[in-house]
Structure 1
Amino acid sequence: MGNLCGKQSDDPFSQPGRTVGAAPPPSNNRTSTIPTGAKPNAPAAGGRKVGGPPRTLGGAGESTSSDAQKEDARKKAAAAAEARAKEASKTTGKLGGKLAEQKRQSRVGTLDALSKDERRTREVDAAQESRNYN
C-alpha cells in the first residue's frame, strides 16, 4: 500500500550495492569548514584564560590574614545555614505540617509512635477475633 498523494519510491535494492570488504564511496566533503563567528585562537567562553600567577587555595587574591578569612567564611556558612533552616521551617498546608512534625521527631519518638501503632493493630485484631468467637 502506498500514500494516495505521494510518489512511488524506488526499490532500495534496485541500485547496485557494494561488497562487505569494499571501501565506502568517496565523499564530497573532504574538509570541514569553520563556523562563522568562531575565532581559532580565541579564549574559552567567558573570557577565561588558563594559566596566570599562582594563587593559594581559598584565597581571593587579597593579602588579608587567614584568620580573618576563616571568620568571614564561618559567618557566611552560618548565615547560609540559617537561611536554609528558615526556608525549611515554612510549612505549606496540611502535608507540609505533617512532614515538618516527622522531621522534628527523634529516633526514640519515631520508635514510640511505631510501637503505639503496632499495639493498636494488635488490639483491633484481638477484638475482631473475639467477635468471631474463635
Structure 2
Amino acid sequence: MGSLCSKASSDNFAGAGRPLGSAPAPAGTSSVPKTVKVGGPPRTLGGGPGASPHGESADGLIDARSRAAAAAEARAQAAKPSGKLGAKLEAQKKMSRTEALQAASSDEQRARDIDASASALRHD
C-alpha cells in the first residue's frame, strides 16, 4: 500500500561495495569565494558608511531622538478626540476596571429603579 504513492527507488546494492567498518567515500567539496568578507564592526540599520561602529554619531543620535519624539507627539495630538463624546471617551479610558464596573452597576440599578416606579404607576 505504501509503494502506491512512492517514487521508484534506485537499487541500493547496485554500486560498488566497501568492507564493513571502513569510512564512506569522501563527498565533493564546495568552494567559498575568497572575495566575500564576512564580519566587521556591527552597524545599525540605516547607518551609512560614515557612521560610527554603533551606527550613529553624537549629533545624529540626538537628531534622530528629537525627530522620533516630535513624530510621537504629533501622533498623540492627532489621536485625541474632540467634543463632548471625545471628552466622555477620554474619561472612560482613564477609569480603572473597578471604577468601570461600579459605574455599570449603578447604571443598571438606576434602570431597575425606573422600571419599578413605572410598574408601580401602572398598578401592575
Give the TM-score category using the shorter length: 0.3 to 0.5
TM-score (normalizing by structure 1): 0.42
More RCO (CA 8 Å, sep 6+): 2
TM-score, length basis structure 2: 0.44
